[in-house]
Amino acid sequence: MATRVNASHILVRTEEQAKQVLEQINNGKNFETLAKEVSICPSRKKGGSLGWFSHGQMVKEFQKVAFKMKKGQISQPVKTQFGWHIIKANDTKG
């Protein structure tokens, strides 16, 4: 079975914003609450949840990080054509 990842993310426009978001998470701020407050992605309505995805369904830079993460892990800022992401790995299969 192919590996699948269930992840959430917070998307912001600048690296500086991404670093500030990560700092808030590291200081105990709830990831889903923060996603609803600051993310510019439509997934913000679901606390940043992107659900399950397989290889090839996300942009290369995002996918590269998401598929290396362990359940519950929060990424460093990841740059893509859409902006800067903070990724949270909710679960993995396969």
Reported as a single tens digit per residue, the pLDDT across 47-87 is 999 999 999 999 999 999 999 999 999 999 999 999 999 99
Mean pLDDT of 16-22: 98
Beta-sheet strands, E only, within 1-94: 4-12, 49-54, 78-80, 83-93
Does 42 score more than 90 pLDDT? yes
| 27-63 exposure pattern, b = at least 16 Cβ within 10 A, e = fewer | eeeebeebbbebbebebbeebbbbeebeeeebeeebb
Number of domains in the chain: 1
Range of the domain at 52: 4-93
pTM, two decimal places: 0.96
- Of 46, 47, 66, which is closest to residue 56 (Cα–Cα)? 66
Q: E strand or H helix at 72, and its extent?
A: none
Per-residue confidence band for 2, with pLDDT thresholds at 50, 70 and 90? confident
State the CATH number of the domain containing residue 30: 3.10.50.40
* The pLDDT value given to residue 1: 62
